[in-house]
């Protein structure tokens, strides 16, 4: 059953499919990110233990103009891995864009379905090994109902990738949304509201908090769709870390990973040993909440979730047969550019963090190519005078730094020859 706000949302995404995309751009680049990067799914959802040859059934609930759908479908195609990616959305305009983008890439592993994720229970769709719901729950009248609808079609052993808005990094947004509800009520046609938003942004005083927020750019570079979605969306709820954790738990899930993990580690920002003694007494959700509160720059939260009763299956970093992979990084190039001081500087939305690396980090990283196993890397280093014991002793420190960045992961295992 729809209400006036729901109808306004539907009208918005028909008028301005989000995000704005031109299918002709597919020849130039693939848009990648989190959640739903194939290497992240392998690592964070399946613990790098689900065979690469096992078909992956994926759902993008609220697929929009197709960024995540195309990313995962293209990753599967490039890796020659079996699977089907189902796009689900009620916007016909967004579907036309997503279908045109898929056609431009020649992808044949995407299935397009029209509808609402709220109708998934009893729909006959699924079950799905992996479900993406990115930027959708915070627009629903009841986010918990939406998340439970996703869980209803989640296959045993599967997982969900979520993205929702976070309040602190969106400072200024809700003030201008309130102003525009007065200047351009949601009952007006989308085009008239958009005109009012453009005019307001040009004239809003320098004291407006959104002018001072450098982390949000949709209203500057996202075109009409970006401006409308940021400032005119009729239903927009932000979640703090504790609120998102409570939502996930109420749906029968647990959070397996906050992306990127290091951002949610308060010790990354607090070197004072007396403060660290206090953070040590906090549980994981409290630690993540503290990081959110002190950094102030988180505008979204991205999490990977598993069923609450699912066993904790950590990626097998101790297995010599495991194959390390880098996400959007080249091992030799990264190794060559590492600073001499033994740290890796990382910047998250203007916040710089220096991650300590072990002495062997350059030697290990230059051998990470997505094909060579940990054991083979240890053997190669041994041939150059580095003991295998030293490799296995220093690997955890490298993992701690770069897995926490969501950059050094383990690949899905390949089937043995003849299997």
How many whole angstroms separate alpha carbon 17 and alpha carbon 265?
35
Q: What pLDDT score was predicted for residue 3?
A: 84
Task: Summarize the confidence of residues 361-386 as an average pLDDT.
Answer: 97
Whether the CB-CB separation of 315 and 410 falls below 8 Å is answered with: yes
How many whole angstroms separate alpha carbon 41 and alpha carbon 50?
10
How many whole angstroms separate alpha carbon 95 and alpha carbon 89?
7
If pLDDT is split at 50, 70 and 90, which confidence band does 417 have?
Answer: very low
Cα distances from 322 to residues 130, 334, 370, in angstroms, run 22, 21, 10
Q: What pLDDT score was predicted for residue 266?
A: 97
Report residue 349 CA to chain centroid gap.
15
* 114 has pLDDT over 70: yes
How many whole angstroms separate alpha carbon 303 and alpha carbon 256?
7
Burial 84-120 (b: 16+ CB within 10 A, else e): bbbbbbbbeebbebbebbbeebebebbbbbeebbbeb
pLDDT for 235-261, tens place per residue? Answer: 999 999 999 999 999 999 999 999 999
Task: Summarize the confidence of residues 168-176 as an average pLDDT.
Answer: 97
- Beta strands (DSSP E) in 288-329 are 300-307, 324-326
If pLDDT is split at 50, 70 and 90, which confidence band does 418 have?
Answer: very low
Q: What pLDDT score was predicted for residue 416?
A: 60
Tallying the residues shown for the chain, one arrives at: 419
Task: Summarize the confidence of residues 54-77 as an average pLDDT.
Answer: 98
Mean pLDDT, rounded, of the chain: 96
Angle at Cα 155 formed by Cα 151 and Cα 156, nearest 5°? 105
Which percentage of the chain shows pLDDT scores above 90? 97
Task: Summarize the confidence of residues 385-398 as an average pLDDT.
Answer: 97
Task: Summarize the confidence of residues 86-98 as an average pLDDT.
Answer: 98
**Residue 340: partners with Cβ closer than 8 Å, 6 or more residues away:** none
């Amino acid at each position: 059953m729809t209400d006036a706000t729901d109808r306004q949302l539907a009208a918005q995404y028909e008028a301005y499919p989000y995000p704005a995309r031109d299918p002709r751009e597919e020849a130039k680049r693939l848009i990648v990110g989190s959640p739903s990067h194939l290497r992240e799914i392998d690592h964070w959802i399946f613990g790098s233990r689900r065979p690469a040859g096992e078909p992956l059934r994926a759902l993008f609930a609220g697929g929009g103009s197709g960024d995540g759908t195309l990313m995962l479908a293209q990753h599967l195609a490039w890796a020659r891995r079996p699977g089907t990616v189902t796009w689900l959305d009620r916007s016909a305009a967004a579907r036309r864009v997503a279908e045109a983008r898929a056609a431009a890439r020649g992808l044949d592993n995407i299935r397009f379905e029209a509808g609402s994720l709220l109708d998934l229970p009893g729909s006959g769709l699924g079950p799905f090994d992996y479900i993406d719901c990115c930027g959708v729950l915070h627009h629903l009248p009841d986010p918990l109902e939406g998340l439970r609808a996703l869980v209803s079609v989640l296959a045993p052993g599967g997982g969900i990738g979520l993205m929702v808005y976070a309040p602190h990094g969106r400072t200024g947004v809700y003030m201008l949304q309130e102003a525009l509800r007065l200047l351009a009520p949601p009952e007006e046609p989308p085009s008239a509201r958009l005109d009012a938003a453009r005019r307001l942004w040009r004239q809003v005083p320098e004291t407006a908090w959104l002018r001072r927020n450098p982390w949000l750019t949709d209203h500057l570079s996202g075109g009409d769709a970006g401006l409308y979605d940021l400032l005119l969306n009729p239903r927009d709820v932000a979640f703090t870390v504790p609120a998102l954790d409570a939502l996930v738990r109420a749906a029968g899930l647990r959070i397996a990973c906050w992306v990127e993990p290091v951002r949610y580690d308060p010790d990354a920002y607090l070197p004072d040993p007396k403060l660290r003694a206090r953070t040590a007494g906090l549980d994981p959700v409290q630690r993540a909440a503290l990081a959110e509160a002190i950094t102030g720059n988180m505008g979204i939260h991205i999490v990977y979730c598993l069923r609450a009763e699912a066993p904790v299956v950590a990626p097998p970093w101790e297995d010599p047969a495991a194959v390390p992979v880098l996400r959007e990084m080249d091992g030799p190039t990264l190794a060559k550019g590492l600073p001499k001081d033994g740290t890796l500087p990382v910047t998250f939305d203007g916040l710089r963090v220096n991650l300590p690396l072990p002495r062997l980090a350059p030697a290990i990283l230059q051998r990470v190519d997505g094909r060579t196993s940990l054991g083979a890397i240890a053997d190669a280093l041994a041939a150059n005078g580095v003991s295998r014991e030293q490799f296995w002793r220093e690997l955890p420190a490298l993992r701690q730094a770069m897995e926490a960045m969501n950059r050094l992961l383990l690949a899905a295992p390949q089937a043995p020859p003849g299997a």
